[in-house]
Structure 1
Amino acid sequence: MLTSFHALAVLSTGIYFSGLTYFKLAAPQMVPLRGDRPWRLVRELLGNRTWLAGATVIGVGATVQATALTGLSLHQAQPMFLAGLGILLVLAVPILRERLTPREWGCVALLAAAAFLFSFGSPAGDAAGSAIITWPDRTLVVAIALPSLLVPCIAFLAVDQARRGAHARPLTGVALAIDAGLLTGTAEMALTGAAGLSETPGDLLTAPYLYIFAVTAPLALGQLQIALQRSRLAIVGLVATATAKTYLLTVAATLYGERWPDDGGRTALALALTVLAIAAVPHHERRTSRARLQHGTGVAGPLVSPGPRRRASG
Structure 2
Amino acid sequence: MLCALGAAVCFGTATVLQAVAARAASAEGSTGGGAGGEAALLLRALRQWRYLAGLALDGLGFLLQIAALRSIPIYAVAAALASSLAVTGVVAARLLRVRLSGVEWAAVGVVCAGLAMLGLASGTEGDSEGPAALKWVMLAISVLVLLLGLFGGRWTGRGRALVLGSGAGCGFGVVEVSVRLIDSLAPSDLLTNPATYALLLGGGGAFLLLTSALQRGSVTTATAGMVIGETIGPALVGVVWLGDRTREGLAWLAILGFVIAVAGALALARFGEAPEVDEQA
Query: CA offset at residue 201 of structure 1?
Result: 4.0
Instruction: From the superposition, tell whether residues 22 and 236 of structure 1 become closer, same or farther in structure 2 (CA, over 3 Å).
Output: farther
Is 1:215 aligned with 2:188? no
Residues in 2 aligned to 1:243 and 1:301: alpha-carbon distance in whole angstroms: 21
Contact 2:69 2:180 in 1 (8 A): yes
- Partner residue of 1:92? 92
Contact 1:9 1:64 in 2 (8 A): yes
Contact 2:76 2:258 in 1 (8 A): no
Is 1:134 aligned with 2:120? no
Question: Given the alignment, which residue of 8, 16, 40 partners 1:13?
Answer: 8
Kindly provide the CA deviation profile for residues 195-239 of structure 1, in whole angstroms up to 9, marking residues without a partner as x: x433x4433322112201111112211222222224899997787
Contact 2:16 2:274 in 1 (8 A): no
- Partner residue of 2:230? 244
SS of residue in 2 equivalent to 1:30: helix
- Partner residue of 1:40? 40
Q: Which stretch of the first structure deviates more once superposed, 55-64 or 248-257?
A: 248-257
Query: CA offset at residue 185 of structure 1?
Result: 1.6
Instruction: From the superposition, tell whether residues 242 and 143 of structure 1 become closer, same or farther in structure 2 (CA, over 3 Å).
Output: closer
SS of residue in 1 equivalent to 2:5: helix
Instruction: From the superposition, tell whether residues 232 and 38 of structure 1 become closer, same or farther in structure 2 (CA, over 3 Å).
Output: closer
Kindly provide the CA deviation profile for residues 245-297 of structure 1, in whole angstroms up to 9, marking residues without a partner as x: 443322234332223554252222334335545666788xxxxxxxxxxxxxx
SS of residue in 2 equivalent to 1:28: helix
- Partner residue of 1:254? 240
- Partner residue of 2:252? 265
Output the amino acid matched with 1:19: A
Q: Whose radius of gyration is greater, 1 or 2? A: 1
Gaps of 5+ in 1: 1-5, 167-172, 284-299, 308-314
Residues in 1 aligned to 2:74 and 2:274: alpha-carbon distance in whole angstroms: 35
Is 1:161 aligned with 2:162? no
Kindly provide the CA deviation profile for residues 159-195 of structure 1, in whole angstroms up to 9, marking residues without a partner as x: 951059x9xxxxxx6664443222212122212333x
Query: CA offset at residue 43 of structure 1?
Result: 3.1
Output the amino acid matched with 2:140: L
- Partner residue of 1:229? 215
Output the amino acid matched with 2:135: V
Output the amino acid matched with 2:174: T
Instruction: From the superposition, tell whether residues 152 and 277 of structure 1 become closer, same or farther in structure 2 (CA, over 3 Å).
Output: farther
Residues in 1 aligned to 2:99 and 2:252: alpha-carbon distance in whole angstroms: 34
Residues in 2 aligned to 1:229 and 1:110: alpha-carbon distance in whole angstroms: 28
- TM-score, with normalisation over the residues of structure 2? 0.73
Is 1:181 aligned with 2:169? yes
Structure 1 vs Structure 2: percent identity of aligned residues? 21
Instruction: From the superposition, tell whether residues 226 and 141 of structure 1 become closer, same or farther in structure 2 (CA, over 3 Å).
Output: same
Output the amino acid matched with 1:179: G
Instruction: From the superposition, tell whether residues 266 and 43 of structure 1 become closer, same or farther in structure 2 (CA, over 3 Å).
Output: same
**RMSD of the TM alignment (CA)?**
4.2
Contact 1:28 1:305 in 2 (8 A): no
Question: Given the alignment, which residue of 189, 192, 204 partners 2:180?
Answer: 192
Contact 1:152 1:180 in 2 (8 A): no
Instruction: From the superposition, tell whether residues 264 and 53 of structure 1 become closer, same or farther in structure 2 (CA, over 3 Å).
Output: closer
Output the amino acid matched with 1:227: A
- Partner residue of 1:294? none
Residues in 2 aligned to 1:255 and 1:265: alpha-carbon distance in whole angstroms: 20
Residues in 2 aligned to 1:276 and 1:102: alpha-carbon distance in whole angstroms: 16
Contact 1:110 1:273 in 2 (8 A): yes
Gaps of 5+ in 2: none
- TM-score, with normalisation over the residues of structure 1? 0.67
Instruction: From the superposition, tell whether residues 104 and 217 of structure 1 become closer, same or farther in structure 2 (CA, over 3 Å).
Output: same
Give the total of aligned pairs: 272
Question: Given the alignment, which residue of 18, 25, 29 partners 2:20?
Answer: 25
Kindly provide the CA deviation profile for residues 78-112 of structure 1, in whole angstroms up to 9, marking residues without a partner as x: 56545655432321222122334555555545433
- Partner residue of 1:289? none
Residues in 2 aligned to 1:162 and 1:218: alpha-carbon distance in whole angstroms: 24
Residues in 2 aligned to 1:236 and 1:99: alpha-carbon distance in whole angstroms: 21
Contact 1:35 1:157 in 2 (8 A): no
